[in-house]
Amino acid sequence: MITLISYPFLQSYWWIIISLLGGLLVFLMFVQGGQSKIFSLPGNDIQKTMIVNALGRKWEFTFTTLVTFGGAFFASFPLFYATSFGGAYWVWIAILFSFVIQAVAYEYRSKPANILGKRTYDIFLFINGALGPFLIGVAVATFFTGSRFSLDYMNQVKWANQWHGLEALLDARNLALGLAVLFLAKSNGILFIINSVNDEILISQAVKKLTINFVSFLVFFLFFLITILLSYGISADWETGTVVAQKYKYLHNFLQMPLVLILFLSGIISVLHGVEITLFKRSRKGIWFTGAGTILAVFSLLLVAGFNGTAFYPSISDISSSLTIRNASSSYYTLKTMMYVSFIIPFIAVYIWYAWKAISSKKITVEEMKDEGHIY
Amino acid sequence: MIENVDLSLVDWSRAQFALTAMYHWIFVPLTLGLSFIIAIMETIYVRTGNDAWKRLTRFWMTLFGINFAIGVATGIILEFEFGTNWSNYSWFVGDIFGAPLAIEGILAFFLESTFVAVMFFGWNKVSRRFHLASTWLVAIGANLSAMWILVANAWMQNPVGMTFNPDAARNEMIDFWALLFNPVAVEKFLHTVTSGFLLGSVFVLGVSSWFLLKNREEWLVKRSILIAGIFGLISVLTVIYTGDMSARTLSEVQPMKFAAFEALYAGKDNAGLTVFGILRDSDKKIGEKETKEFAVKIEVPDLLSILTGGDKNFYVPGINDLVNGGTEEHQQLSVSQKMERGQYAREVLIDYKRAKMVKDTEQIEIIRDIFRDRDFIENNFRYFGYAFLKTPEDAIPNVSVAFYSFHLMVILGFFFLIVCSLALFLLFKGTITKNRWFLWITVISIPLVYISSESGWVLAEMGRQPWIIQDLMPVSAAVTKISAGSVLTTFILFAVLFTSLLFAEVSIMVRQIKTGPKH
């Protein structure tokens, strides 16, 4: 049966996996969102410790998902990897920089003799929390708004300016998605803290912060969504390989792929529901609805970026250099081999769920912060 | 492909990758080795129920955690630097190279990161057995992770299981199993992870010896010495055995690296193995390149020939032979000939691209047939990378670096064999606490084992220059075309960051060690 699987099927399969990893990554950036609140949310040191420890037990998941997202992109769409990472150099380096300082900050912040001092590590966490989601949002926005690159006959990238990706910050749509992802991460971070700690005062402070962060997310996200739906996208003819700019491309994609539209709307509704039950019913389970909604919404947005004959990495400088899931993918053999490997993902999901449940079954309390041997 | 590439860009890109890799490798081997030592200690705790073993496990686990975080942090940069700084490489071989990196993330990294949370925070939340299983899974995950990275690296040293696709201008994987069971990969994996086990063992021995010197925690640290001594002895024996295997394979797949690390310029039968040597500049040159000669040398006659070919009369080619094409008796292609063959392959590829541009279907078909031709693949495309060399001597790596890194690694490897053996001997004899000289040697062994471990990677990566993929692509053709100033800036940023974090890590480690196992 496997031998009957076609090359286009595998390319689509891997775009689905990439989109799913993208959705998971944005959800897991609740860790970053929570980190960006460590100076403004807690009322005292013990509350800050509780927040940091709630988030710190999950940071590896975000980190691992980011690494896997990068690795999967490299393996399945290496031309994107070479083009975007090599071209938009400064954006990716800034993202990496912010993640390096996060990884050590948790482990080192409360350890004696840490040289830089606890506050420095907390600032590291804050920088990663603010910069990471924002820059990843900006980078993902270029999947819709395009970048300034061209490819030569050997498929080697040439960036059209010396800004190497920083010019993306001059496009309001990119900024809007960057800010939307940041405020979504903040909202999810707040919801995760509400779910994870047993401290009524802290929870009530978190609920108050949720409104402004979520409204900010909605404003920026709607701005991005509306402008993208009304703008041009690059349409690719799978048969001939020709590409043309097409007005309302992403709107057409939603309408021509109703299942994706349903997934997207379900995601939005789920996110709204998660916030609604937290704000109005004082539920502490909002994170699960916003989390699932985030995954669904990002997943479907990335499907819209790459499916239905769409260039997922459009070039503004040379439209014919735009990357599609057809021209940027790995070979049939590699995609098929990687597909076999991907069959293990459900098993991984099960053990992650099991381990997550085992660690998070009890809410974090002040007493635990005083008794537990391994405290961040 | 490399027209107008700024050489300082290549140098800074290499420097940045080397910086990241060397910092990364400070932390990773301790994770590899210590994770198993911790797992063994916790197993004893679970089986005996003796809380002293739990104290011991948690003490080493604390040190593991401090080291683990920064290892993870530097690792992510390495993965993404293939894209940011080596984008031409990423496209040329991404179809092959990306797969093991992705598999690492999916199969190994999730395993490691999921259960490391249980390992640190699960003591009072999960059952003893679940916790123990988590600790073992972290050790297995860390080593699986290393395996996939080493498979990827081994492929760069000995590219196998692929074919060139002229339409995409890239190499494509055609045999995953060849990639996985590449002889260089198997040996590299065994050699590298066991060197990590050895490093972890020497670290535990050194720290434990410090406690004995301070007359603290004698019962606990003697048990640490027992476990680390046995684990270290098994590891160092495996390291020596796999090192020998690796060197033999290297003599076939990377003969220039092999000749360089022995500083062997003139090939010969009955070649002796240099045990110790000091190099100095020689009057002779190869092309425009300076050569080296021995100022001092201790050599075991015939041993290099015996170790390489199993026979003292076995001929080992030297750097001169590899560059100039050997002798009448031992003929081989010179670098100039390889450059001609590579140049032909490159011109065929350019002709193909031109034919595609003008849609000359007849020419396209003719050239496609050339790329399918076995003779062309084995005699021309195999040397594709040589087309980018300017002179034959460009194929010679830095001989001094290769020689000293290799010999430092080997000498220290045998030194650790003595250290591990003596530690066990004195422990069983019951006199380890009295032999303070030995305890001090063991403490001093901690920095030495790091030097040895780093030397291995210096040899592996510097010794294979100018290649990023052996014979197929030199580093100068693989680099991302950005300004050298940009890379210099990020190099400085990373250097400052990594160095600061290293100081912080060492400082925290020292404080935790001084504090000792908690009650």
pLDDT in tens, B98-152: 899 889 988 898 899 899 989 998 888 899 999 999 999 999 999 999 999 999 9
Res A34: pLDDT: 97
Classify residue A62 as exposed, middle or buried by CB count within 10 Å of its CB (0-12, 13-18, 19+). buried
Q: How far is B239 from chain A (nearest CA, A)?
A: 30
- Calculate what percentage of chain B has a pLDDT beyond 70: 99
pLDDT grade, residue B251 (50/70/90)?
very high
* Spatial contact of B226 and B208, defined as CB atoms under 8 Å apart: no
pLDDT tens-digit readout, B392-433: 999 999 999 999 999 999 999 999 999 999 999 999 999 999
For residues A264, A266, A271 and A277, what is the CA-based torsion angle, rounded to 10 degrees? 170
Distance linking the first and last C-alpha atoms of chain A? 50
Partner residue opposite B508 with nearest CB, options A85, A113, A359 = A113
Res B125: pLDDT: 86
pTM of the model: 0.92
Residue B127 in tokens? 């059952």
pLDDT grade, residue B310 (50/70/90)?
confident
Is the omega angle on the peptide bond into residue B166 within 30 degrees of 0, that is, cis?
A: no
Instruction: Compare all CA atoms of chain A with the CA of B519 and give the residue at the minimum distance.
Output: A373
Please tell me the distance from the alpha carbon of residue B469 to that of residue B253, in angstroms, as a whole number.
12
Quick check: A143 pLDDT over 80? yes
B231, B248, B225: which is closest to B194 by C-alpha?
B231
* Spatial contact of A294 and A268, defined as CB atoms under 8 Å apart: no
Range B472-499 average pLDDT: 94
Cβ-Cβ contacts under 8 Å, B123 against chain A = 373-374
* Spatial contact of B52 and B44, defined as CB atoms under 8 Å apart: no
Pick B310 or B25 by higher pLDDT: B25
User: Would the CB atoms of B110 and A104 count as touching at under 8 Å?
Assistant: no
DSSP classification of residue A81:
I
B144, B486, B62: which is closest to A373 by C-alpha?
B62
Quick check: B196 pLDDT over 90? yes
Residues B412, B415, B419, B421, CA torsion sign: positive
Classify residue A45 as exposed, middle or buried by CB count within 10 Å of its CB (0-12, 13-18, 19+). exposed
Cβ-Cβ contacts under 8 Å, A87 against chain B = 87
The contacts of residue A1 (CB under 8 Å, 6+ apart) are none
Quick check: B4 pLDDT over 70? no
A262 at B interface, C-beta within 8 A: no
Range A198-209 average pLDDT: 94
Residue B360 in tokens? 């000359």
pLDDT grade, residue B332 (50/70/90)?
confident
- Average pLDDT over chain B, rounded to an integer: 93
pLDDT grade, residue B334 (50/70/90)?
very high
Cβ-Cβ contacts under 8 Å, A72 against chain B = 102, 105-106
pLDDT tens-digit readout, A111-129: 999 999 999 999 999 999 9
- Average pLDDT over chain A, rounded to an integer: 93
Cβ-Cβ contacts under 8 Å, A331 against chain B = 95, 165, 172-173
- Calculate what percentage of chain A has a pLDDT beyond 90: 82
Range B29-55 average pLDDT: 95
Angle at A366 between CA A361 and CA A372, to 5 degrees: 70
Quick check: A297 pLDDT over 70? yes
Best mutation target among A61, A148, A331, A360 (most B Cβ atoms within 10 Å) is A331
Q: How far is B512 from chain A (nearest CA, A)?
A: 8
Instruction: Compare all CA atoms of chain B with the CA of A72 and give the residue at the minimum distance.
Output: B102
pLDDT grade, residue B5 (50/70/90)?
low
Q: How far is B200 from chain A (nearest CA, A)?
A: 20
Range A311-321 average pLDDT: 94
Cβ under 8 Å to B: A residues 284-343: 330-331, 333-334, 337-338, 341-342
The contacts of residue B294 (CB under 8 Å, 6+ apart) are B263, B274, B277, B278, B279, B280
Cβ-Cβ contacts under 8 Å, B480 against chain A = 86, 89, 157
Res B67: pLDDT: 92
A346 at B interface, C-beta within 8 A: no
Please tell me the distance from the alpha carbon of residue B210 to that of residue B438, in angstroms, as a whole number.
11
H or E segment to which residue B473 belongs: strand B473-474
A49 at B interface, C-beta within 8 A: no
Q: Which residues of B267-300 are buried (b: 16+ CB within 10 A; e: fewer)?
A: bbebbbbbeebebeeeeeebeebebbebeeeebe
Cβ-Cβ contacts under 8 Å, B515 against chain A = 112
Q: What is the phi-psi region of residue A317: left when phi exceeds 0, alpha when psi lies from -120 to 50, beta otherwise?
A: alpha
* Spatial contact of B299 and B273, defined as CB atoms under 8 Å apart: yes
Please tell me the distance from the alpha carbon of residue B339 to that of residue B420, in angstroms, as a whole number.
48
Please tell me the distance from the alpha carbon of residue A28 to that of residue A184, in angstroms, as a whole number.
11
Range B341-365 average pLDDT: 93
Range A354-374 average pLDDT: 82
* Spatial contact of B34 and B203, defined as CB atoms under 8 Å apart: yes
Pick A322 or A154 by higher pLDDT: A322
A97 at B interface, C-beta within 8 A: yes
* Whole-Å CA distances, B210 to A93, B35, B57, B439, B503: 41, 21, 18, 7, 20
B142, B143, B139, B146: which is closest to B38 by C-alpha?
B139
Res B2: pLDDT: 47
Quick check: B3 pLDDT over 80? no
Q: Which amino acid is at B437?
A: W
pLDDT tens-digit readout, A220-275: 999 999 999 999 999 998 888 789 999 999 999 999 999 999 999 999 999 999 99
